[in-house]
Structure 1
Amino acid sequence: MLRFLARRTAGALVIILLISAITFFLFFALPSDPARMSCGKNCTADALAVIHKNLGLDQPVPVQYWHYMAGIFTGRDFSVGHCSAPCFGYSFSNQQPVWGTIVDRFPTTLSLTLGSAVVFLTVGVGFGMIAAAFQGRWPDKFFSSLSLIANSLQIYFVGIIALAVFVTGLHWMDNPAYYPITENPAKWFTGMLIPWLVLSIIFVANYTRMTRSQMVEQLSEDHVCTARAKGLGHRTVFFRYAWRGALAPIVTIFGIDLGSLFGGAIITEFTFSLHGLGRLAVDSVGQTDLPTLMAVMLISCAAIVVANIVVDAAYAFIDPRVRLA
């Protein structure tokens, strides 16, 4: 197991390094100059040269990339002062440390990601299991049709409808906003409830159909038929044998979805005016802010590869047929 984790971790680091290099070098292929954003309207050539030097843009691109990646682990010295590790540089748009901005935005995205993951995993898998248990009967048809409708919806449409109905119309809920869970757990829950539900709609549809499909397939397997022939009860066969066999594909997709969500649910954050990593990434693209964009990209990439490593390692505990050799 340790050898497997070490091998996967090394491969993940290579992937992150390649993605960071591609993103960094593609940024400098853009025709815009990020230094002009800090220079203002009345920008002179001398002032622009000073800004290039302060931001480190006067050096060759490979040198800039090396200094950027090394600064994450060792820190860097800028004209405005020393940036301690982990140093992602200073923002081109507001000249503030990028790491401080990431730390401020991180709890919002983390709350949105984990909360919606709990909702769509619990509800989606539950609906799929009910549909499989009543295969061919009205619960199966109801949840299958419901998942098809939910999969056709869009987050920005459902989000606006939810705000109009539950916040403006019925006044059942407060306007969505992020409150630190350590300060007020109740307001944190009520403020994030609508974004959780809206973001989960499409995922609930996918997990309902996938769980139903996997459970129906497992219920027709030979080992399940053998368990039934031995006289085991329906509940035991359903949960102990069929459910365990269907769990591995669900965990695989869940790991990928969780890593992707952690990178920032951009549409959801914009719909509900949540200031998370997704919205920060969009703002940094519009402002040609390379340090901020690189930081969000690296964190998103790390979340995806870590989630995949955890999923692969979990196979050994879920399915005894899987060997990590």
Structure 2
Amino acid sequence: MTRYITKRLGRTLFTLFAVVLATFGLSQVAYSDPARMIAPENATEATIESIRASLGLDQPWWVQLWRYLVHGPDIQGVPSGMLTNWPPSLGYSYHSQRPVSELILEKLPVTIDLAVGAFVIWMVLSVLLGVTAARKPGGWFDRVTSGISYVLLSIPTFLLGVLFLYFFYFQLSMNGFRIFPGGGYVPFNESPSEWFRHLILPWLTIALVEIGVFQRVVRSSVLEVAGNDYIRTARAKGLGPNRVYFGHALSAAANPIMTLGAIEFAAILGGAIVTEQIFGLDGIGRLAVTSAQGGDAPVVIAVALVGAVAFVLFTTIVDIITHARSGK
């Protein structure tokens, strides 16, 4: 087990380093001259050169990469002590001249609240619907849930979000029922009720799309183990259907469900770009979009790195758990 964990962690570190290299390389191609993008419209060439030098953009790409990995860009006016501590600050934003880590930490609570809430909703409903459908495959409930899953899979996330806003915000507000807000975010510690009201529609937008996938995965996984000897033995001992399916069968079928759940949860933590844009949530995804549009390469790289860290962290944890469950 120790050997497996060591090898898995080694692959994790290699993956993160590869993501940094790939993202940095793509940013060099996409933003060939960030100084010109940052400079005012009427800036002279001397001004652009000054911006380029202050951001270290006049250095070779390998020097820029090394500075980013070890110190972050050397921006004039930033105390040198802030650039020499490790771990690095993930660089400094070209626009705000603030550490990128600060910008991300400001946006991260919104994305975490969005991801966790949606994850709980889709996992609970997917398990309930999937296991219930697997108890009588081909029955009316199985056919109904299968049809709903196919419909949810065919609806794009942005369309579902717009429909939710139109019916539950615009139409209800026009008729005097102001139940759901049109967007924004309220921290939980300020008002739990407002926090819930502002997030319930974004949660459902993500969760319903995910249920279309997860309900089918849960159903298929449970059906694969439902015919095993220990399941038949449990039935022969007189255990009730709920205990057989929600206990024994679901436990045996948990590995693919956990793996897919970790991947999807990490993807949302990396930035639910569409959902955050539609509902005006100032999270990681929205930060990535505005930074990409403005040519703020350090922020774009850092957001990609956050998504990669979330992905490899959760998949590594799940891999270790499934490896331990297999008894190898």
Q: TM-score of the superposition, structure 1-length normalised? A: 0.91
Q: Give the equivalent residue in structure 1 for 2:169.
A: 167
- For 1:322 and 1:289, the matched residues in 2 are separated by 47
- The one-letter amino acid paired with 2:202 is P
- For 2:321 and 2:182, the matched residues in 1 are separated by 38
Q: Give the equivalent residue in structure 2 for 1:226.
A: 233
Equivalent residue of 1:180, what SS? coil
Count of paired positions: 318
- The one-letter amino acid paired with 1:217 is E
The answer to which of 171-180 and 155-164 deviates more is 171-180
The answer to which of 186-195 and 18-27 deviates more is 18-27
The answer to whether the 8 Å contact 1:218/1:245 transfers is yes
The answer to whether the 8 Å contact 1:270/1:279 transfers is yes
Question: Does structure 1 residue 78 correspond to structure 2 residue 85?
Answer: no
Q: 1:18 offset after TM fit, Å?
A: 1.1
Show structure 1 runs of 5+ residues with no match. Answer: none
- For 1:23 and 1:316, the matched residues in 2 are separated by 31
Show structure 2 runs of 5+ residues with no match. Answer: 173-177
- The one-letter amino acid paired with 1:141 is R
Q: Cα distance 1:90–1:211, how it changes in 2: closer, same or farther (>3 A)?
A: same
Q: 1:112 offset after TM fit, Å?
A: 0.8
The answer to whether the 8 Å contact 2:68/2:91 transfers is yes
1:206 aligns with one of 200, 213, 219: 213
Q: 1:113 offset after TM fit, Å?
A: 0.8
Q: Give the equivalent residue in structure 2 for 1:59.
A: 59
1:139 aligns with one of 138, 141, 156: 141
Q: 1:230 offset after TM fit, Å?
A: 4.4
Q: Give the equivalent residue in structure 2 for 1:283.
A: 290
Q: Give the equivalent residue in structure 1 for 2:109.
A: 107
Question: Does structure 1 residue 294 correspond to structure 2 residue 298?
Answer: no
- The one-letter amino acid paired with 2:242 is R
Q: Give the equivalent residue in structure 2 for 1:23.
A: 23
Q: Cα distance 1:68–1:211, how it changes in 2: closer, same or farther (>3 A)?
A: same
The answer to whether the 8 Å contact 2:38/2:294 transfers is no
The answer to whether the 8 Å contact 1:176/1:195 transfers is no
- For 1:161 and 1:304, the matched residues in 2 are separated by 30
- The one-letter amino acid paired with 1:248 is N
Question: Does structure 1 residue 264 correspond to structure 2 residue 271?
Answer: yes
The answer to whether the 8 Å contact 2:131/2:246 transfers is no
The answer to whether the 8 Å contact 1:108/1:274 transfers is yes
The answer to whether the 8 Å contact 1:37/1:92 transfers is no
Superimposed CA distance per residue, residues 104-125 of structure 1 (whole angstroms, 9 cap, x where no aligned partner): 1111111111111111111112
Q: Give the equivalent residue in structure 2 for 1:87.
A: 89
Equivalent residue of 2:184, what SS? coil
- For 1:293 and 1:25, the matched residues in 2 are separated by 12
- For 1:226 and 1:52, the matched residues in 2 are separated by 72
Q: 1:215 offset after TM fit, Å?
A: 1.3
Q: 1:200 offset after TM fit, Å?
A: 1.0
The answer to whether the 8 Å contact 1:159/1:198 transfers is yes
The answer to which of 176-185 and 113-122 deviates more is 176-185
Equivalent residue of 1:106, what SS? helix
The answer to whether the 8 Å contact 2:122/2:211 transfers is yes
Q: Give the equivalent residue in structure 1 for 2:190.
A: 183
Superimposed CA distance per residue, residues 203-235 of structure 1 (whole angstroms, 9 cap, x where no aligned partner): 011111111111122111233223334444433
User: Counterparts of 1:7-18 in structure 2 under 5 Å?
Assistant: 7-18=7-18
